């Protein structure tokens, strides 16, 4: 499974970014997908997940109300819209997919991972 994350960058606190996770070979079309992030010196943590159809999502409490996850099955791409960014959102963001159609917040439930995209939020 090939996942390609993009859209990261350097922004100021309060700005917005949209990350994309492309699956050009469409191997994750029927699978749930998720976003995780890892800051320096910290464990990789769950951010958001979406089921195979896009009808169900799960958002971490730390970003709830600011981040939303969506997917476009025609374009075979998942998105993470990040608003009101804070310096503590600085991390490498990874997209991942499961072998199953339902969402999960557990890192161990995801078997395919993209390469990560850096998000840096300055204060």
Q: Are 60 and 46 in contact (CB under 8 A)?
A: yes
Matching residue, tokens 């072998």: 99
**33-38 and 17-22 beta bridge pairing:** unpaired
pLDDT at res. 25: 84
Residues in CB range of 104: below 8 A, 6 or more apart: 32, 34, 49, 58, 98, 110
- How do the pLDDT tens digits run along the chain, 123 residues long? 689 999 999 999 999 999 999 998 888 888 999 999 999 999 999 999 999 999 999 999 999 999 999 999 999 999 999 999 999 999 999 999 999 999 999 999 999 999 999 999 999
Q: Are 70 and 50 in contact (CB under 8 A)?
A: yes
> 66 vs 29, 43, 110, CA distance in Å?
26, 21, 24
User: CA angle at residue 59 from 68 to 30, to 5 degrees?
Assistant: 80
**Which conformational region is residue 77 in: left (phi greater than 0), alpha (psi within -120 to 50 degrees), or beta?**
beta
């Amino acid at each position: 499974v090939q996942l390609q994350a993009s859209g990261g960058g350097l922004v100021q606190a309060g700005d917005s970014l949209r990350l994309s996770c492309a699956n050009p070979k469409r191997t994750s079309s029927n699978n749930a997908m998720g976003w995780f992030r890892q800051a320096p010196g910290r464990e990789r943590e769950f951010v958001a997940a979406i089921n195979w159809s896009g009808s169900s999502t799960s958002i971490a409490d730390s970003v709830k109300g600011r981040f939303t996850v969506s997917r476009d099955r025609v374009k075979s791409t998942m998105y993470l819209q990040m608003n009101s960014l804070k310096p503590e959102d600085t991390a490498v963001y990874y997209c991942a997919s499961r072998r199953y159609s339902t969402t999960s917040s557990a890192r161990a439930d995801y078997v395919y991972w993209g390469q990560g995209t850096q998000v840096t939020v300055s204060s």
